[in-house]
Amino acid sequence: MVKNSSIEWTDNTFNPWWGCRRVSPACDRCYAATFSKRIGSVGWDIGAFRTFGDKHWAEPLTWDRKARAANRRERVFCASMADVFDAEAPSHEREKLWHTIRETTNLDWQLLTKRPNQALKLLPNDLQERPNVWIGCTTETMKMFRQRVRLLKRLKTPVRFLSIEPMLEPMPIGPADLEGISWVILGGETGHGARPMQPEWVRGMRDVCAAAGVAFFFKQWGDHDATGKRVGRKKAGYLLDDEEYRDFPKGAAG
């Protein structure tokens, strides 16, 4: 099937709207805000949101039909230019999203948030128990890990995952800290002023995931390579000690 996203850990990207407010250190160099500013769309951090019409909302229905015809599941990352659980976002658009998720049973919806506290309030109970709803939260530092993971674990979704991207510091956690987590995505920072990531930080997370039986997906080094030299995202690559680590949760298509 055609991949409708350049993001390595998904097949399709869908944004129910554009717009968000920065809420943590991972937002400091937000690619979505930078891209939005470059094309003159949506004022970030001012509660302005760009919404979309019927043609845009029909895309997931098309992906679902194609996935059903191919007898396979497709992943959908929602949302790269927003946060589904932003309390300021248009509630009618979020209700439209819930309806779309219910209608697309051949799609696994990857809902990534920096607001798991709001996810507990805003995600309908029936969607928490659907096998095609995955909930993840960004945990770029130990402070964010402590604040957010305990809330994420309260959700009943069958797949709960962490996005440690950008990884901004070492995270000395143990296997017990990942209990109830199915998947960890890890990556370095890109863009103007990108902060480098140390190899030992990545190795530590790889090893704790292995000990905990959690799928580990190393997405990229970011703009700095493993030596700390700024070479650009493509040249830095995604190999750790000359090996590729790009696993998916148990039962999910790779």
Whole-number pLDDT of residue 254: 59
Whole-number pLDDT of residue 53: 97
DSSP 8-state secondary structure symbol assigned to residue 196: P
Least confident range from 39-43, 100-104, 230-234: namely: 39-43
Mean pLDDT confidence for 213-231: 97
For residue 213, give every residue at least 6 positions away whose Cβ sits within 8 Å of its Cβ, in sequence order, or none: none
3-state SS class at 8? coil
79: cis peptide before it, omega within 30°?
Answer: yes
Q: Is the pLDDT of residue 253 over 70?
A: no
Strand order in the sheet with 183-187: 12-13, 74-78, 107-113, 133-138, 159-164, 183-187, 215-220
pLDDT tens-digit readout, 135-187? 999 999 999 999 999 999 999 999 999 999 999 999 999 999 999 999 999 99
Q: Is the pLDDT of residue 248 over 60?
A: yes
pLDDT band at residue 251 using 50, 70 and 90 as cut-offs: low
Q: Is the pLDDT of residue 193 over 70?
A: yes
Tokens of 48: 């302005």
pTM value > 0.75:
yes
3-state SS class at 89? coil
Q: How far apart are CA 49 and CA 58, in angstroms?
A: 20
Whole-number pLDDT of residue 88: 92
Q: Are 185 and 23 in contact (CB under 8 A)?
A: no
